[in-house]
Amino acid sequence: MKRLVLLGGGHAHVHVLDALARAPLPDTEVTLVSPYPQQIYSGMLPGWIAGHYPLDACAIALPPLAARAGCTLRQTRAIALDLAARDVLCADGARIGFDWLSIDTGPTTARHRIAGADAHALAVRPIESFVDGIARLLAEAAETPTLAVAIIGGGAAGVELAFALRQRCPDARLSLIGSAARPLDGLPRRLQHRANALLADRRIAWHGGRRAQRVDATGVALDDGTRIAARHVLQVTGAAAPRWPAAAGLACDDGGFIRVDASLRSTSHPFVFAAGDIARYSDPRPKSGVFAVRAGPPLAANLRAAIGTEALTPWRAQRCALYLISTGNRHALAAWGPLAWWGDWVWRWKDRIDRRFVARFSA
Ligand SMILES: Cc1cc2nc3c(=O)[nH]c(=O)nc-3n(C[C@H](O)[C@H](O)[C@H](O)COP(=O)(O)OP(=O)(O)OC[C@H]3O[C@@H](n4cnc5c(N)ncnc54)[C@H](O)[C@@H]3O)c2cc1C
């Protein structure tokens, strides 16, 4: 019997599980390691905060998906790998042996890059503790409507979260801090201007071109000396890598993301595969759920081929990802390469795509 261990129930692995449910791997025992019994779909998280969805509607339950795939679910977290012994070391003390390992554990938040963030900021990852923190924040905002909240991170996730909070907390004092001059750096200029105008319109103070340097119990200090008073600080500063893949000896890039070849196989350990934000593709792409989702089918096919000692098929990710950024009030902004659109129809488009994704793996 061969042993395949899937680390993390991320966007690519839910597809692998679905593929296994449709066509089981012969003579292979499959184990899924996940710290939580559900995968909260980040694309719908701002909609949960805005009050458009209950949390259950934004989550894929892993136990039924694993059961359909004939896979054992171990509810714990990988903390280290012993690649010589081919063991995963888990937070609950277990060692799980494998012949083949696939890693889709997503990104972490780089807490250490901002002094005091560990103690005083709520990090967007892990999403489960972020959800708990946001639930507390919303309860407090119900008591104190003018609550001051600062969000560090002017990318798509930070912008969406700011708009979602505005929708839910109309009188809160909201600040959004970004290191680029305009929000949504890297997306079309037209969209950045639109986001800027909407932030002003919704009374969200934009502090661009500055970095958060220190967070304490009273707010955030920026690198130009500005102080932003805030009762709550959210850290939404983009994808960072956990330490354990590089510590185990897997080939990683300078950021600690696992280097994989075009078949999603580790460039240093041929019995290890990786996909999603934790992976550094041979033809790199931005860290985004879209690319993690797209990696699911080639990952499933190549795990099957590797275990069956067949040839692997290279995967080439699409050049552009569709960005759909909700603005809280059932409107959304969209970007595809240099093109940009917005409107309530964009939100309905996003809503359909998001609901379909969750429903597909929850059926
Ligand atoms: C608010 C917000 C909104 C976003 N909206 C969008 C969007 O609309 N479109 C888009 O393309 N991208 C969006 N993103 C980015 C997107 O969330 C990520 O790119 C995507 O989640 C990456 O998918 P993944 O499969 O790599 O990891 P994840 O989705 O993070 O899944 C990783 C899984 O692994 C588990 N895990 C973590 N550590 C371990 C461990 N040590 N052992 C075992 N399991 C572990 C986690 O619990 C999780 O279930 C958004 C991000 C945020 C924060």
Query: Which pLDDT value is given to residue 363?
Result: 72
Below-50 pLDDT ranges, the chain = none
**Residue 35: CB within 6 Å of ligand 1?**
yes
14-39 tens-digit pLDDT: 999 999 999 999 999 999 999 999 99
- Output the DSSP codes for 152-168: E--SHHHHHHHHHHHHH
User: Relative to the CA of 36, which ligand 1 atom is closest?
Assistant: 47
C-alpha of residue 10 to centroid of ligand 1, in Å: 6
Nearest CA owner, ligand 1 atom 16: 289
Query: Which pLDDT value is given to residue 238?
Result: 84
Query: Closest by alpha carbon to 14, among 347, 292, 318?
Result: 292
Query: Which pLDDT value is given to residue 319?
Result: 86
Domain with CATH 3.50.50.60 in the chain: 2-108+239-307, 111-183+190-238
The reply to whether omega before 126 is within 30° of 0 (cis) is: yes
**Residue 294: CB within 6 Å of ligand 1?**
no
* Angle subtended at Cα 160 by Cα 44 and Cα 360, rounded to the nearest 5 degrees: 15
C-alpha of residue 124 to centroid of ligand 1, in Å: 10
HEC readout, 103-151:
ECCCCECCHHHCECHHHHCEECCCHHHHHHHHHHHHHHHHHCCCCEEEE
Does the domain formed by 2-108+239-307 have CATH 3.50.50.60? yes
How many other CB atoms sit within 10 Å of the CB of residue 188?
19
State both tokens at 134: 């946001």
Q: Specify which residues 37 forms β-bridges with.
A: none
Q: Which residues contact 143 (CB under 8 A, 6 or more apart)?
A: none
C-alpha of residue 106 to centroid of ligand 1, in Å: 5
Give the separation between CA 3 and CA 279, rounded to whole angstroms: 22
Question: Please, are residues 12 and 295 in contact by the beta-carbon 8 Å criterion?
Answer: yes
Sign of the alpha-carbon torsion through 168, 172, 177, 182: positive
Nearest CA owner, ligand 1 atom 12: 289
Nearest CA owner, ligand 1 atom 53: 157
CATH no., domain 111-183+190-238: 3.50.50.60
Query: Which pLDDT value is given to residue 93?
Result: 97
**Residue 351: CB within 6 Å of ligand 1?**
no
**Residue 157: CB within 6 Å of ligand 1?**
yes
